[in-house]
Structure 1
Amino acid sequence: MTQQANNPLHGIKLEQIVTDLVDKYGWNDLAVRININCFKENPSIKSSLKFLRRTPWARDKVEYLWLKMNKQPLPSPRTRPQFNDNAVSSQDSGAVNAHIWGK
């Protein structure tokens, strides 16, 4: 349990994260912020969850955007996905270390 003590995502389901982001930004703006096809091509919660559960780098970006949106503590700059204030690019070459998120 101490391993999860500082994890702001502890207890938050991926479905809730995606739903919150879609409610705030909508699919179009979310696709601009995080350039992945599951947000651009016939988007749905179900298809997005399937993709994000299988694609750690994309899930990291989604979790990071949710943390930023909710003003939660963010991982250190060395390990977080690169982004600018307007968008999170899928061209990010550095992956977030999974241990940051408690996976």
Structure 2
Amino acid sequence: MSDTQPNNPLHGITLQQMLTELVEHHGWDGLGRQIDIRCFNVDPSISSSLKFLRRTSWAREKVEALYLTLLCQRRN
């Protein structure tokens, strides 16, 4: 981990890594229930979701928050 952001749990984690782990944990259906956005509920794919999330900050923030929740659950 870099010394520039030692307290940021998302430092060094790509959006694709977050999304992949969330899909593995929740599945697309579960992810779509957690965060109700079209790219998770209608013909979902990693690539289409990444395109949307990179353009839409509010949706990316929700994905990051859900990922942080998953990290906390894993630590406990």
Q: Tell me which interval the TM-score lies in, with the shorter structure as reference length.
A: 0.7 to 0.9
Say whether residues 1:68 and 2:69 are aligned partners: yes
Say whether residues 1:6 and 2:3 are aligned partners: no
Residues 22-66 of structure 1 show CA distances to partners (whole Å, capped at 9, x for unaligned) of 000000110000001110111000000000000000000001101
Alignment RMSD (CA, Å): 1.5
Letter in 2 for 1:58: A
Structure 2: state its 5+ residue gaps. none
Superposition TM-score, scaled by structure 1 size: 0.65
1:21 alignment partner, SS class? helix
Q: Within 2, Cα distance between the matches of 1:43 and 1:52? A: 13
Q: Which residue of 1 aligns with 2:43?
A: 42
Letter in 2 for 1:68: T
5 Å-filtered alignment, 1:84-95, equals none
Letter in 1 for 2:23: V
The structural deviation recorded for 1:5 is 2.4
The structural deviation recorded for 1:3 is 5.2
Structure 1: state its 5+ residue gaps. 73-103
Identical counterparts, % of pairs: 57
Say whether residues 1:59 and 2:74 are aligned partners: no
Q: Within 2, Cα distance between the matches of 1:53 and 1:20? A: 17
